[in-house]
Amino acid sequence: AQSVAQPEDQVNVAEGNPLTVKCTYSVSGNPYLFWYVQYPNRGLQFLLKYITGDNLVKGSYGFEAEFNKSQTSFHLKKPSALVSDSALYFCAVRDSGYSTLTFGKGTMLLVSP
């Protein structure tokens, strides 16, 4: 069975500093990986995905993620955090094109001014 782990419930970063939100996964086949963000009282917004190819994926709002097959990780990064980045971030995985999408528990990112 596929699974996703987001080991940190909360990440605190000062504005202007780089941020990393961690995600590790477990699948039986090739992973298809996604990051989503959720603002209060809103649905989830798609940030980026890894299907195949370059291990560094660039997405919306300046976010990027690095796929590391050997460490089964897909960490979300941003070079310079903004206060407006404060939100709940979800990592998700599918282990084939037709399996269900499994989400991690989410990581709350708090960016202080």
Partner 1 sequence: KAGVTQTPRYLIKTRGQQVTLSCSPISGHRSVSWYQQTPGQGLQFLFEYFSETQRNKGNFPGRFSGRQFSNSRSEMNVSTLELGDSALYLCASSLQEGTYEQYFGPGTRLTVT
Q: Which residues bind partner 1 (CB under 8 A)?
A: 32, 34, 36, 41-46, 49, 51, 90, 94, 97-106
Give the number of residues written for the chain.
113
Between 81 and 104, name the residue whose CB sits nearer to partner 1: 104
Minimal distance, residue 34 CB to partner 1, in Å: 6
Between 14 and 101, name the residue whose CB sits nearer to partner 1: 101
Q: Cβ–Cβ contacts within 10 Å for residue 80, how many?
A: 12
Minimal distance, residue 84 CB to partner 1, in Å: 19
Residues with Cβ within 8 Å of residue 104, at least 6 apart in sequence: 4, 5, 6, 23, 90, 91, 92
Minimal distance, residue 44 CB to partner 1, in Å: 4
Strand partners, 110: 12
Between 20 and 99, name the residue whose CB sits nearer to partner 1: 99
DSSP output for 61-90: GG-EEEEETTTTEEEEEESS--GGG-EEEE
Between 46 and 61, name the residue whose CB sits nearer to partner 1: 46
With beta carbons less than 8 A apart as the criterion, state whether 33 and 50 touch: yes
Minimal distance, residue 46 CB to partner 1, in Å: 5
